[in-house]
């Protein structure tokens, strides 16, 4: 299974009255599941994944929504899973470096409320204090810059 993040490069997830405090867990979960059940909401996902992962790994495939699961206690982190199948007339590569995954999971870290589409509603976006080194004392230290992998979220504004 291939695991990725559903971030700024994917279709924008816009929900009605999403509760960012997650006080209404079941209602939030229902809204997210409904959004993914409607295939037109994520119609360009295969193309976006082809651009991100490369044509040799993700060309000529079709995605089918499988499920959304939620991890976490108070604030849930949704993960959507799709099954991957070859488009008609093609086959998936089943071995070697470019082998195709039969499932792909995407952790949702960015979603919006209708009417407030420039404000991200997910309170936790995967940031970690361990992502920044604690032993540097020099600004713009070349070793730190070389070794730190910074992930930037971006959105359409």
Determine if the pTM surpasses 0.95: no
Give the domain ranges of the chain: 2-124
Q: What is the pLDDT confidence band of residue 150, given thresholds at 50, 70 and 90? A: very low
Interatomic CA distance for residues 100 and 79, integer angstroms: 20
CB neighbour list of residue 111: distance below 8 Å, 6 or more residues apart = 13, 14, 15, 18, 32, 120, 121, 122
Name which residue leads in pLDDT, 133 or 82.
82
Structure tokens at 60: 């000529």
Q: What is the pLDDT confidence band of residue 155, given thresholds at 50, 70 and 90? A: very low
- State residue 84 phi and psi, 5-degree precision: -115, 130
> Does an H or E element contain 27, and which?
helix 25-37
Residue pLDDT, tens place only, 93-136 = 676 665 666 888 888 888 888 888 778 787 655 544 455 556 56
Name which residue leads in pLDDT, 35 or 49.
35
Interatomic CA distance for residues 62 and 84, integer angstroms: 6
Residue pLDDT, tens place only, 9-48 = 677 888 999 888 888 889 999 999 999 999 998 888 878 8
For the chain, state the CA radius of gyration. 18
User: pLDDT at position 71, please?
Assistant: 86
With CA atoms as reference, report the closest residue to 53 among 13, 101, 90: 101
């Amino acid at each position: 299974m291939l695991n990725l993040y559903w971030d700024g490069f994917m279709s924008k997830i816009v929900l009605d009255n999403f509760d960012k405090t997650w006080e209404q867990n079941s209602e939030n979960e229902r809204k997210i599941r409904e959004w993914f059940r409607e295939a037109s909401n994520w119609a360009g996902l295969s193309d976006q994944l082809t651009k991100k992962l490369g044509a040799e790994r993700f060309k000529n495939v079709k995605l089918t929504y499988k499920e959304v699961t939620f991890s976490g206690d108070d604030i849930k982190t949704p993960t959507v899973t799709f099954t991957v199948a070859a488009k008609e007339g093609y086959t998936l590569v089943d071995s070697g470096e470019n082998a195709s995954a039969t499932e792909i999971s995407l952790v949702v870290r960015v979603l919006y409320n209708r009417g407030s589409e420039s404000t991200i509603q997910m309170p936790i976006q995967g940031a970690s204090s361990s992502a920044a080194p604690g032993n540097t004392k020099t600004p713009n230290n070349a070793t730190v810059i070389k070794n730190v992998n910074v992930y930037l979220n971006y959105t359409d504004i």
